[in-house]
Amino acid sequence: MARTLMCEIVTPERILYTNEVEMVVATTPLGEIGVLPLHTPLVTTLAAGEVRLKFGSNPSDWEFFTTSGGYMQVHEDKVIILADQAVAASTIDVERERKARELIKKQLDELPKEAEEERAECIGDLNWCDLQLKVAEKAKS
């Protein structure tokens, strides 16, 4: 049996995932980082992106998550991802996200240029929708 590490994905609302995995791949501000068992201890920030978890020996044995940023800690064969927001790709309703994206784009187009805070919030929401759609599509392939 291959050596594994425990992985937890935690948001402010709940523990989203807890299980043993063979590998964790996460998006940092400098690019992707892969974590295998016996990895050196590490604390890093996470950028908005995907987290992939390999849980078996088949090429299709990956679980995908979308995170909006946060932190990752690696210590003694345990990876803890503290995410601002996180969603399992398998739970993303692609059609609903596409509709939400269109509504946000429409709202953004209607906002005056002076409404900087509202525009920034809409752009953040739009980016979150785009990221979820990207990860959901990748998880399906």
Domains in the chain, number: 2
pLDDT by residue (tens digit) across 23-48?
999 999 999 999 999 999 999 999 99
Identify whether residues 37 and 74 lie together within a single domain: yes
pLDDT by residue (tens digit) across 55-106?
887 877 899 999 999 999 999 899 999 999 999 999 999 999 999 989 988 8
Q: Which domain holds residue 54?
A: 5-89
Query: What's the length of the chain?
Result: 141
Identify whether residues 133 and 75 lie together within a single domain: no
Mean pLDDT, residues 103-132 = 87
| CB neighbour burial string for 1-15, b if at least 16 within 10 angstroms, e if fewer | eeebbebebbbeeee
Identify whether residues 100 and 44 lie together within a single domain: no
pLDDT, the chain, mean: 91
pLDDT of residue 1: 53
- Report CA Rg, the chain: 17
H or E stretch covering 127:
helix 116-140
Query: What are the residues facing 52 on neighbouring strands?
Result: 25, 64
Identify whether residues 54 and 67 lie together within a single domain: yes
Mean pLDDT, residues 99-126 = 86
Identify whether residues 83 and 107 lie together within a single domain: no
Q: Which tops the pLDDT comparison, 123 or 70? A: 70
Identify whether residues 21 and 71 lie together within a single domain: yes
Identify whether residues 105 and 81 lie together within a single domain: no
- Residue pair 39/71 in contact by the 8 Å Cβ criterion: no
Residue 83 sits in a domain whose CATH number is: 2.60.15.10
Under DSSP, the state recorded for 85 is S
Identify whether residues 96 and 81 lie together within a single domain: no
DSSP E strand boundaries for 58-114 = 62-67, 70-74, 78-83, 86-88
Six-digit token string for 15 = 């523990």
